[in-house]
Amino acid sequence: MFDIESFAKSDQGLVRNTNEDVYRQLLREKFFILADGMGGHNAGEVAASKTVEYMCKSIQGLFIDKEHALQLDDLKSHITSFIENTNLWVYHLSACDPKLSGMGTTLCSVLFFKKFIVYSHVGDSRIYRFRNNKLEQLTNDHMRIESIKSISCREPMSLQRKVLTKAIGTSITVNPEVYYSKVKHGDLYMMSSDGLHELVDNDEIEQSLSSSDDLQKIGDILIDRAKKNGGHDNITLILMRSSK
């Protein structure tokens, strides 16, 4: 069993008028979650906050009822079901309120259990592991790149945009990715919204994670880097380190 030290921070960035990223840390359950909302007006923030709320209540209920009997495969199945139910709830909210129509959110979570993590994701928020001074991305983005043709006054232009292939709340069903992995003493895990990892490359992330033992200092460095590199989106991270 490991003790977990953590630090989380969210920044509005330099361009957006609102912050639609939502995160939460359940320290008793050692559960950490991040959601990056999308949708018009405040709908993205609603999708993200409702997703985090539903997931956290589900995890808390699980550990109240079954903590001592749980096994890894049980946890994986439960978390998969929780995400599917969360998706259905957010989709229902969107369908019932025209102001929330089309809203959705990414989701990623990490649950520390005995000497393992159970981690999940939907969308393009990411989970990284920093072990032995090497960075590894544990999740693969659910997205594709589409080309857009735009005709300007002078010449045609080819633009690209990112399109999520999976999100919470945008369709009636979702197929989340849920895995587990063994934890080693000193492992440092990071969850981030795309406002961070789109502007801070892997070399910069790796350099930042190795720059200090102070998680708050590391977090501040990473968010400052994202802002210096443009800060065009909300920026959120959660850092989690295992120790005996």
Please report which helix (H) or strand (E) contains residue 189, including its range.
Answer: strand 188-192
Q: Identify whether 152 is part of a domain.
A: no
What are the start-end ranges of the H helices in 1-71? 43-66
Query: Residue 180's beta-bridge partner residues?
Result: 118
What are the start-end ranges of the H helices in the chain? 43-66, 72-96, 194-197, 202-209, 215-228
Read out DSSP for 213-238? S-HHHHHHHHHHHHHHTT--S-EEEE
Q: Are 51 and 38 in contact (CB under 8 A)?
A: no
Identify the pLDDT of residue 243.
86
Render each residue's pLDDT in the chain as its tens digit; 244 residues: 679 999 999 999 999 999 999 999 999 999 999 999 997 667 999 999 999 999 999 999 998 866 668 899 999 999 999 999 999 999 999 999 999 999 999 999 999 999 999 999 999 999 999 999 999 999 999 988 777 665 555 555 556 777 889 999 999 999 999 999 999 999 999 999 999 999 999 999 999 999 999 999 999 999 999 999 999 999 999 999 998 6
Q: Identify whether 148 is part of a domain.
A: no
Q: Identify whether 161 is part of a domain.
A: no
Q: Domain with 120 in it: what CATH number? A: 3.60.40.10
Please report which helix (H) or strand (E) contains residue 150, including its range.
Answer: strand 143-151
- State CA 135 to chain mean position distance: 17
Q: Identify whether 89 is part of a domain.
A: yes
Query: Residue 186's beta-bridge partner residues?
Result: none
Q: Identify whether 234 is part of a domain.
A: yes
Which domain, by its residues, includes 38?
Answer: 3-139+167-243
Q: Identify whether 151 is part of a domain.
A: no
Q: Are 106 and 52 in contact (CB under 8 A)?
A: no
Number of domains in the chain: 1
Identify the pLDDT of residue 154.
58
Identify the pLDDT of residue 173.
97
Provide the 8-state DSSP code for 97: -
Q: Identify whether 144 is part of a domain.
A: no
Q: Identify whether 158 is part of a domain.
A: no
